[in-house]
Structure 1
């Protein structure tokens, strides 16, 4: 018999089968909330402080008041992972504005709801990490940063990413590349994109409407630690097609090669040496750092 699993709702551990979202939760009704996906490796929560900081930055941007501070949030996340014996896996933290029917937030009852759960999540099969992803450019565009700031990791915005992912699925591709309204390279449906050309790395700037991913920032630091130049210019599809290597990053995806875009091989169509070096370095880092669960 498997061990019982728990979710944490507003600080209280509840058996997962009894954990439900209220009928008029504003996140469920209108996508009025925000979230973080966090990884546990080797009984340590990776980049927990950074994820919680981003959660609170997003909450402030959306004017969502949390009833607990960052220290208590960290404690609840660790508590949930420990209760589930979550040695390796994925933690999802979701915050919604509260409960009430109608758009006007002044009519909501109570405070923000906080839901924390643990799962096993693998975005891509193992062979894609070894052989690389096939990617297609999708027609679904990134929301403009003057509509919603890309640094806010809010739930409602992700319907766009879901539609883009469904489009990539229809083409039989492993991922979809999303462009900005102006036609510049933005990000994949759930990941940031990096290009390697002549030994240097480029990645789109956050200002064009992409999420400034925590894995993205981690990989930039790793690359610079190896003495690899990293810059954030405007990137076009021409740059992607003519790159020597391309890889994607994200908390759930980690670091994964992308070897084929829109019918074109990238380089020799195989994961390249710099990509492999960064994958190895990222895996080493995740196994040796983080906030202990035990």
Structure 2
């Protein structure tokens, strides 16, 4: 396995970052995760645009120009002989002495890691995954802007620990006001009265790229979409629920257990609904069309 570290491809065993790196010391950095289909990175420009947004919001200077970022990703894929993969691009504040001052770091650390994509179990899509409403609340958006896709993930990790203890796949988090936000690694949707509902950005969520595509596909297929503030009770009453992210695409949720302090016994079971199936199918068609279009543009960096 090979990793792109700063300006070169190195074997994974040599891909080392200093213990004085502020990404390690303080979680000071940003990242993006991308999916690669048949040698084409899906929505690469959108991911890079969001990367730059995150960098701007934390005052981090990205050490490469956009064309060079693209080349570094494709070089890493090529070094690992991967055409169906996921990519993790990480940029930390870099090496510096101990202290919170960003100026202590003279140069950011730039890392690209790729791995072969292994499909999720078919049963997840056929039967749905189990989830909980976590007792861990989402960070206040006034404290940590959710539009920053940062390395600081402890809030989500605590919710994930709770999910593992409950033997379920995902934990859905509420904000300080008690409204639905998102999962530890996903955005959430539910269907109520034939309306597709999803928490709005104002609730304190990351505006997922897959989320935006799913909303667009729903509208194109005649579905009414409502973004807003929703309570857990509205989720329990939904006819179907699903989550989205870059790698899982559209994944149905079959059960929700409330683990908050006031409703420890509340359990809701959901069927894998027709809207979930439709949007998964349309999403995969969108991917196939994107890949076909990119390949038709001519030789890619992969080649």
Q: Which category of TM-score, normalised to the shorter sequence, fits these structures?
A: over 0.9
Match of 1:15 in 2: 11
Consecutive unaligned residues in structure 1, runs of 5 or more: none
**Deviant stretches of 4+, over 4 Å:** 121-124
Distance 1:186 1:123 in 2: 26
Distance verdict in 2 for CA 1:120–1:161, change over 3 Å: farther
- Cα contact 2:180–2:203 (8 A) shared by 1: no
- Counterpart of 1:57 (choices 53, 59, 66) is 53
Q: How does 1:131-150 map to 2 (within 5 A)?
A: 131-150=127-146
- Counterpart of 1:232 (choices 204, 227, 250) is 227
Q: Is 1:113 matched with 2:100?
A: no
Match of 2:297 in 1: none
- Cα contact 1:90–1:121 (8 A) shared by 2: yes
Distance 1:277 1:43 in 2: 26
Distance 2:144 2:118 in 1: 28
**Alpha-carbon displacement from aligned partner over 1:29-79 (angstroms, at most 9, x marks no partner):** 110001000000122100100001100110011000112122221221122
Q: How does 1:132-211 map to 2 (within 5 A)?
A: 132-156=128-152, 158-211=153-206
**Alpha-carbon displacement from aligned partner over 1:75-133 (angstroms, at most 9, x marks no partner):** 2112211222211111000000111122212222x311110010135595331121001
CA drift at 1:259: 1.7
Q: Is 1:29 matched with 2:25?
A: yes
SS in 1 for 2:173: strand
- Cα contact 1:42–1:287 (8 A) shared by 2: no
- Counterpart of 1:88 (choices 84, 90, 95) is 84
CA RMSD of aligned residues (A): 1.5
Distance 2:194 2:218 in 1: 11
Q: Aligned residues, how many? A: 286
Distance 2:233 2:119 in 1: 27
TM-score by length of 1: 0.93
CA drift at 1:253: 2.2
Q: Is 1:222 matched with 2:217?
A: yes
CA drift at 1:285: 2.0
Match of 1:256 in 2: 251
Higher relative contact order (CA 8 A, sep 6+): 1
SS in 2 for 1:232: strand
Q: Is 1:67 matched with 2:53?
A: no
Distance 1:123 1:172 in 2: 21
Distance 1:13 1:256 in 2: 34
**Alpha-carbon displacement from aligned partner over 1:233-260 (angstroms, at most 9, x marks no partner):** 1010111001111100011222100121
SS in 2 for 1:275: helix
